[in-house]
Structure 1
């Protein structure tokens, strides 16, 4: 018997999830699912954070159930993109997805075909995002815009003087509000430059 998780969502506080729950419990009975958890959100689908859904996905990653049952696809996700991402993750976790209204079941042949299409679309979306980021970085580089963290404005000679006076790396780091690794790198680079300077002299 497959372990099922039911997810319910209503858009406003004056709506009741009991109608959804009745249909899904009946569906679970017909499919011989064992309902092991019920998650509920009373919030707009457009809201980014939904405690019930977030907890369900955490439990999914711990493999607490084998199938997720919802009343409708738009009850699960706040957007098409979010739905694709959520279904893609459930698929990779080997968790089936069943929607009552759309009669979508990823365990069936049609459902598996839908999952394949969704996986392709999700991968395409990820590729497009990566390409947009890379294109933005290339454009910024051509325009002379610095990418990444702003370089630290450090008085390297002052760091070396403090070191020459016997201060530890930790003391110097605190004085200049930088990391010990940065202090160590400055000192190392200075030592490597000394032989070159002597040779040139």
Structure 2
């Protein structure tokens, strides 16, 4: 007998799980599943989805074989997010069954096509996200915004003194517990015009 979990989600306090529960539990009974988990969530756009997080964690641990939901749009907040979740569950061997969308049954005859479509849509969304991120970074650079992690503060005079005494970049890095790139940056000396040129760096294995 397959172990089933049900996920009931409403998006406002005025709504009730009881509108979904009878249909979802009927699917569990008629298919002969054993109900082992019930997740209930009242989650709007601004609220964290703690029950959904527990559901996914339990699925990763193999605590159930089938997830029954009332409708695909009750599964999550966005079409792309829903698809990603279905793909993740499918990889974990969990069948997703929807009361209102029988075609969503990822163990049905259209499963290969369904997973292929979901995968393609998810990939397109990732590519668009990357493109938007790259474009945003390019705009920020044009405005003079520094991209990346902030520089780690370091006593440049101390770094230069240690280096002048013969310590290598690696040794200084280990002594001060900073990355070697930070040491290299500290060893750059400003020219009279304000730009920087690197000092001769000694690397000892």
Q: What is the CA–CA distance in structure 1 between the aligned matches of 2:128 and 2:180, rounded to whole Å?
A: 40
Q: Is the 8 A contact 1:4 1:68 kept in 2?
A: yes
CA distance 1:9–1:85, shift in 2 (3 Å) = same
Q: Is the 8 A contact 2:41 2:51 kept in 1?
A: yes
Q: Is the 8 A contact 1:105 1:111 kept in 2?
A: yes
CA distance 1:120–1:154, shift in 2 (3 Å) = same
Q: Is the 8 A contact 1:169 1:184 kept in 2?
A: no
Pairs aligned (count): 184
Q: What is the CA–CA distance in structure 2 between the aligned matches of 1:16 and 1:138, rounded to whole Å?
A: 47
1:85 aligns to what?
Answer: 84
Structure 1 residue runs without a partner (length 5+): 174-179, 196-201
Q: Is the 8 A contact 1:47 1:78 kept in 2?
A: no
User: TM-score scaled by structure 2?
Assistant: 0.73
Deviation track 1:72-128 (CA, whole Å, cap 9, x = no partner) reads: 111110122221221121122221111101223111123442222111100111122
The reply on whether 1:126 has 2:126 as its aligned counterpart is: yes
Determine which of 155, 160, 183 is the counterpart of 1:186: 183
Q: What is the CA–CA distance in structure 2 between the aligned matches of 1:136 and 1:34, rounded to whole Å?
A: 49
Q: What is the CA–CA distance in structure 2 between the aligned matches of 1:40 and 1:149, rounded to whole Å?
A: 40
CA distance 1:142–1:22, shift in 2 (3 Å) = same
> Structure 2 matches for 1:156-195, cutoff 5 A?
156-161=156-161, 173=176, 180-182=177-179, 186=183, 193=200
2:73 aligns to what?
Answer: 74
1:51 aligns to what?
Answer: 50
Q: What is the CA–CA distance in structure 2 between the aligned matches of 1:17 and 1:184, rounded to whole Å?
A: 56
CA distance 1:90–1:183, shift in 2 (3 Å) = closer
User: TM-score scaled by structure 1?
Assistant: 0.74
Q: What is the CA–CA distance in structure 1 between the aligned matches of 2:120 and 2:69, rounded to whole Å?
A: 23
Q: What is the CA–CA distance in structure 2 between the aligned matches of 1:14 and 1:142, rounded to whole Å?
A: 48
